[in-house]
Structure 1
C-alpha cells in the first residue's frame, strides 16, 4: 500500500461505537484484523484521523481516545495490538489527514507559511492518561489564522 501511495481511512470511533457489533459479526479471529492502525503505520502507510460523521460522533478527541485505547462500548478490547500511541494518533489527525487530502503543503503542521489551524485543549493531550483522553474538552479553535471557537480559553490582550 505504501509503495502505491494508497491511504486507508480506518475510523477510530467505529471501535467504541459499533465495536461490539463488529466483534459479534466478525468473530474472534477476524475481529483481530478490524480497523488496522498499527499495522499500517509500521508498514509506512500514511494513517489519517477520521470519524465518518455523522455515522458516528465526529469529536476528534473521542476518536484519538479510541485509536489509543481500542475498546468497545462495553469495554471489550478490539484488536489491541493495532493501538497507536497518543502522539501517533495526534499525528494522524494533523499531518496524516493533510496528506490524505494532498494538502500537506498548506496545512498539517504549525509551520510558518502554512494555515494556522490549532485547538486549545483543557489539558495536555500527550500527558493525560490514555484512559482519560476522551474527557478533554476543546476550549478554542483557530482555523486559517482566525478564531473559529472560543469558550474563554484564549486570552487576548
Structure 2
C-alpha cells in the first residue's frame, strides 16, 4: 500500500511540474514530435534501465568528449547526425522531472534541438536511450568560472561514433 501511496504522491507532484516540463520540452524538441509517457510506462522503462545498469557504467563508455564550449554545437550535431543515420527509430529522452511527469519518446533523435540554450533545461543533464535500452547518449552541461561547457558520453556499441 505504501508503494501505491508514494506513486500517487509522485503523480500529484508531477502535475505541479507539468507546465514547466512542457515548456522545457518545447525548447528541446523540434515541433510536436514527442509523446510524454505515463508514469507506469516510465517506471517500467526505468526498471529496465536499472536492470541493464552495467551497460551504462562509467567503465563502459564507448566514446566521450569533454569540456566542449557550450556555444560550439558542431560536435554535438555531428554525433546526433551519426546516431540518426545508424538508428532510424524513436528514442527515449530523460530530463529534469521526467521521474515525476513521465519519460519522453521522440519520434527520432533528429527531432532533438541541438541548438538549445543553456537555460532551456534546468538540471544540466539530458539522456537519450534507444528503444532496446542498450545504447545511450548523455549530454551533461555545466558552468565553471563563468564559462559554459558540455560533455558527451555514448554507451553501447551501436551508437559509438568511430569516425568522429
TM-score, with structure 1 as normaliser: 0.28
Between Structure 1 and Structure 2, the one with more strand by share is 2
TM-score, with structure 2 as normaliser: 0.27
